[in-house]
Amino acid sequence: MHSSPPTGLARKLQRQQIAREETLGEEAFSAIDRMREAATAKFTGGFSPTALTLAYLDWAIHLAAAPGKQLELANKAVRKAARLGGHALSCLAQPDDDPCIRPLPGDRRFAASEWRTQPFNFMAQAFLLNQQWWHNVTHEVPGVERHHEEVVSFVARQILDVFSPSNNPLTNPEVIERARETGGANFIEGWKNWAEDSQRLLAGRPPVGAEHFVPGRNVAVTPGKVVFRNHLIELIQYAPSTPTVHAEPILIVPAWIMKYYILDLSPENSLVRYLVGEGYTVFCISWRNPDADDRDLAIEDYRRSGVIAALDCIAAILPGRRVHAAGYCLGGTLLAIAAAAMARDGEDLLASLTFLAAQTDFSEPGELALFIDASELRMLDSMMWNRGYLSADQMAAAFQLLRSNDLIWSRLVRDYLMGARAPMFDLMAWNADSTRMPYRMQAEYLRCLYLDNDLASGRFMVGGRPAALQNIRTPSFAVATERDHVAPWRSVHKLHLLIDADLTFVLTSGGHNAGIVSEPGHSGRHYRIKLKKHGDTCLGPDEWLDAARTREGSWWTAWAAWLHSQSSSEQVAPPSVGDAAKGSEALCDAPGTYVLQR
């Protein structure tokens, strides 16, 4: 007896079953690779050995095949040796002779007067010449891919810094003098400092002194209330300090990689307090610190449940009011995405846009690009897939390596060899209070924005449609900082090419954080500023630098004046802080609960 052939429905169910089994098999095979990569990441600190190997081989093979470059390096080595020998001989007759090479700007390892005595002067000069030679070795090798060249150069710098005479107690004259003064007690104090730091690191506790800077107690103390909360944000509305306020409120969107209170540090350097004192109703997002359960949060969740949810709450409290929106770092990138989507959809909710050290074009992202390529992203992706998030210590390690002299070696010398500690201050304590990044969002961010540059290219999708920055017509204000290793100012400057609106661009002194936290009265501050109107010709960064006017002082005052020019002349009575009748009752005092999450 023969069985009847399967019906059309049976065949369809059979094909679906086969497809499910194939998918499960593929996922199982992929999981094996991910587990292997996650395990490898534990031993490499998240760095891809494959990426490093590819960079090294690219450099080494091309260098081996370039006899002209080899001859050039040999010639440079002989000339540098002659310079060093000549300098050593001249110092015998004239100890205060000018050095034959000076450190790079910002390198203060050999700035102390003790380094001008022999033999320490000879050691420092030899190290700097060797450092310069290795820069020649790792650069301009014919045929090497630029990214690989930068990776090899970076690794060479890290290795050289390990052997700097400033890091060795036997070749550092400052340490030797300190040991002579204290009878060697500096090494005992250094051992105690190392033991205490190690205990805190293993216990997951903050650095020494950070416990004296607690949000709500002596930082993040500007009075206000949490007026909205969802799974991702708390929205803080700050209490007014002036009898009347501008009609348009300000919404601050900080980066979710950091706690928001960098913009509300101590009372004397709080940007939030400054804006409230200028007569603005200020709202600020405080992001939740995600954990493994939040692994599937995407950039779209941060836009919708973050920026859009905050704007909806402000609209409920202050109906009919347009908003001055300001975004810092990644918060500025997110704000640009949200503004582009609103412009595309014809939503006229924003009175102005401000971008603080925020990139929108990632074609030249600076030194962070060292850690961004397909192999490295795969390693990070597997590490985050395994844990559900990117931990704060992994991000901190990458940032510290970018400034290893300032953040690693100088601390080692000061705390462990000199036996001294630099006093903790508010910005340093905040820097230690970092956050995690959910798996899906961070993977999207690194791939779509950093690697593929979708936002600047008009390919970034919001709601199934591209969100093009070119649709933005809102007057904008952008701030970049001179020594920014996270968002280099030339990269931030590319905003000129991306939005079709009046843009006031500011380049201020300082770095990514200290340049933004630059209150009026802070000594030694300056900035350049220039307005590009909608129809003006775009200037390149070097042309802009020559044309921009330099001013002394804080850029905050220029921003306040610009905000005033973008606001209506109407002054109104301060709104109530939260409005229960409108669904935005005051839930708790600022700084709220999310900022306290560990």
| 290 and 162 within one domain | no
* Confidence (pLDDT) at 393: 66
Question: Catalytic annotation on 448?
Answer: no
* Confidence (pLDDT) at 578: 75
Query: Rounded to two decimals, what is the model's pTM?
Result: 0.89
Per-residue confidence band for 377, with pLDDT thresholds at 50, 70 and 90: confident
| 253 and 173 within one domain | no
Spatial separation of the C-alpha atoms in residues 202 and 191, rounded to whole Å: 16
| 230 and 151 within one domain | no
Listed in sequence order, the DSSP H helices in 425-540 are 426-432, 439-444, 454-457, 489-492
| 59 and 166 within one domain | yes
Catalytic residue, chosen from 284, 329, 448, 588, is 329
| 178 and 228 within one domain | no
Residue 68 has pLDDT above 90, yes or no: yes
| 246 and 105 within one domain | no
Per-residue confidence band for 50, with pLDDT thresholds at 50, 70 and 90: confident
Residue 10 has pLDDT above 90, yes or no: no
| 275 and 146 within one domain | no
Spatial separation of the C-alpha atoms in residues 180 and 175, rounded to whole Å: 9
pLDDT per residue over 170-186, tens digit each? 999 999 999 999 999 99
| 244 and 175 within one domain | no
Last residue of a domain, one of 160, 182, 204: 182
DSSP labels, 153-207: HHHHHHHHHHT-GGG-TTT-HHHHHHHHHHTTHHHHHHHHHHHHHHHHHHHTPPP
Tell me, what CATH number does 513's domain have? 3.40.50.1820
Percent of the chain at pLDDT exceeding 70: 93
Residue 5 has pLDDT above 80, yes or no: no
Beta bridge partners of residue 353, listed in sequence order: 325, 476
| 268 and 122 within one domain | no
Q: Which helix (H) or strand (E) holds 22?
A: helix 8-44
Spatial separation of the C-alpha atoms in residues 408 and 360, rounded to whole Å: 30
| 588 and 480 within one domain | yes
Other Cβ atoms closer than 10 A to 301: 16
| 123 and 250 within one domain | no
Instruction: Identify whether the C-beta of residue 364 lies closer than 8 Å to the C-beta of residue 390.
Output: no
3-state secondary structure 365-420: CHHHHHHCCHHHHHHHHHHHHHHCEECHHHHHHHHHHHCHHHHHHHHHHHHHHCCC
Single-letter amino acid code for the residue at 340: A
Q: Do the domain assignments include residue 163?
A: yes
Spatial separation of the C-alpha atoms in residues 35 and 51, rounded to whole Å: 18
Q: Domain range for residue 76?
A: 52-182
**Secondary structure (3-state) at 25:** helix
| 103 and 228 within one domain | no
Residue 152 has pLDDT above 90, yes or no: yes
Instruction: Identify whether the C-beta of residue 60 lies closer than 8 Å to the C-beta of residue 52.
Output: no
Q: Do the domain assignments include residue 196?
A: no
The residues, ordered by sequence, that sit 6+ positions from 179 with a Cβ below 8 Å of its Cβ are 169, 186, 187
Spatial separation of the C-alpha atoms in residues 357 and 478, rounded to whole Å: 8
Last residue of a domain, one of 151, 182, 213: 182
Residue 1 has pLDDT above 50, yes or no: no
Instruction: Identify whether the C-beta of residue 522 lies closer than 8 Å to the C-beta of residue 554.
Output: yes
Last residue of a domain, one of 182, 197, 215: 182
Domain count, the chain: 2
Out of 175-179, 432-436, 504-508, least confident range = 432-436
Joined together, the tokens standing for residue 12 give 């369809």
* Confidence (pLDDT) at 532: 95
Q: What is the phi/psi pair of residue 215, to 5°?
A: -55, 130
* Confidence (pLDDT) at 278: 96
Q: Looking at residues 79-91, what average pLDDT do you find?
A: 92
Per-residue confidence band for 569, with pLDDT thresholds at 50, 70 and 90: confident
Q: Do the domain assignments include residue 195?
A: no
pLDDT per residue over 331-370, tens digit each? 999 999 999 999 999 999 999 999 999 999 998 887 777 7
* Confidence (pLDDT) at 271: 97
